[in-house]
Amino acid sequence: MTVVGPFGLSVRDQALEADVQAGLAAVEAGLLDATKSDVPFITEAAQHLVLAGGKRFRPLLVMLAAQFGDPYAPGVVPSAVVVELTHLATLYHDDVMDEADVRRGVDSANTRWGNSIAVLTGDFLFARASHTLADLGPEAVRIQSEAFERLVTGQILETAGPTDGRDPVEHYLDVLGGKTGSLVAVSCRFGAMMSGADESVVDILTQYGERLGVAFQLADDVLDIASDSHESGKTPGTDLREGIPTLPVLHLRAAAAAHGRPEDLELVALIDGDLGDDERHAEALRRLRAHPALEQARRDTVRYAEEARAMLAPLPEGYAKAALAEMCDAVVHRAG
């Protein structure tokens, strides 16, 4: 048994291991090539997060989905480069919006070079993703553009907040379907589609990816509160400090509104106050970690991961299917 991939995924088949390792190595080379510019400073900024590493969650899914067709098909690796470039570009923009200081254990681009350079570098990465995508054909361009529209729409809806009368938790889960689920779904779709897998398999893996992507983000929400280290690649409590609504906080607010318990109302007031103060921030984290809302968010993570696993049922048995099922376990383990 060999361990590969972003979550220590155990691969029990030598052929699958070889395909995945070779594919991820080719993606890494493709990312470095796609982020080179004739202007050295642009190369430095564009490769900042590439060189910082990361989970390569989306390229791994491309490689696993491609196992249901021809994993050596010429479009598989470029499509993985496209989805990872798109993801990286969104991180540059997210860090500006969130005023984040750290990303993947290094200074965020906006901290190092300022907001304008960070935004423009994200735009540069989008442009390079589009350049690679153009060689994959009009259907790939359409799929990616629709996913990108969903991603941006999800970000806008998160920023705007729920409309009057809309359940904030339901709104948030819809936001995550766009912000995160859409690109993870495309990762699975591209891997299957580029490998020449049957259309039914492409559809199954797309639906699997959508649900896995939401579970993945929910696990990040839990980690932002529960982690004592830098497991998520960000400073723990970053989303909390920046006032970004995540599922544990939304569950807390719902409990406070429904039951009016003094301790819940006090915690909501603390979170709504100035968390720029380190002591207040630490107190909010401590109390949220002990609150049932965090466990409720963990249960939601498990639910989406199990829905993803259930989508795999019609696929033929084999090591690739087992690896995709294990991804569900790995995502849940992150939130454990």
Number of domain units in the chain: 1
Q: Which residue has the higher pLDDT, 23 or 11?
A: 23
How far apart, in whole angstroms, are the C-alpha atoms of residue 67 and residue 79? 14
Q: What is the pLDDT of residues 144-169, one digit of tens each?
A: 999 999 999 999 998 899 999 899 99
Quick check: is 184 in a domain?
A: yes
Q: What is the pLDDT of residue 97?
A: 78
What are the φ and ψ backbone dihedral angles of 328, each rounded to 5 degrees? -60, -45
Dihedral of CA atoms 204, 208, 209, 212 in degrees, nearest 10, equals 180
Q: Is the pLDDT of residue 8 over 60?
A: no
Quick check: is 166 in a domain?
A: yes
Q: 10 Å Cβ neighbour count for 162?
A: 18
Q: How far does the chain reach from its first CA to its final CA, in angstroms? A: 24
CATH code, 35:
1.10.600.10
pLDDT band (50, 70, 90) for residue 1: very low
How far apart, in whole angstroms, are the C-alpha atoms of residue 94 and residue 147? 17
pLDDT band (50, 70, 90) for residue 10: low
Quick check: is 163 in a domain?
A: yes
Structure tokens at 170: 């339901």
CA 59 and chain centroid, separation: 12
Q: What is the pLDDT of residue 7?
A: 54
Q: What is the pLDDT of residues 181-220, one digit of tens each?
A: 999 999 999 999 999 999 999 999 999 999 999 999 999 9
What are the φ and ψ backbone dihedral angles of 39, each rounded to 5 degrees? -100, 110
Range of the domain at 34: 14-334
Please spell the DSSP secondary structure of 26-90, one letter per residue: HHHHHHHHHT--SSHHHHHHHTHHHHT----HHHHHHHHHGGGS-TT-TTHHHHHHHHHHHHHHH
Q: Per mean pLDDT, which range of 1-5, 51-55, 62-66, 93-97 is the poorest?
A: 1-5
Quick check: is 5 in a domain?
A: no
Quick check: is 1 in a domain?
A: no
Quick check: is 250 in a domain?
A: yes
pLDDT band (50, 70, 90) for residue 290: very high
Quick check: is 6 in a domain?
A: no
Quick check: is 9 in a domain?
A: no
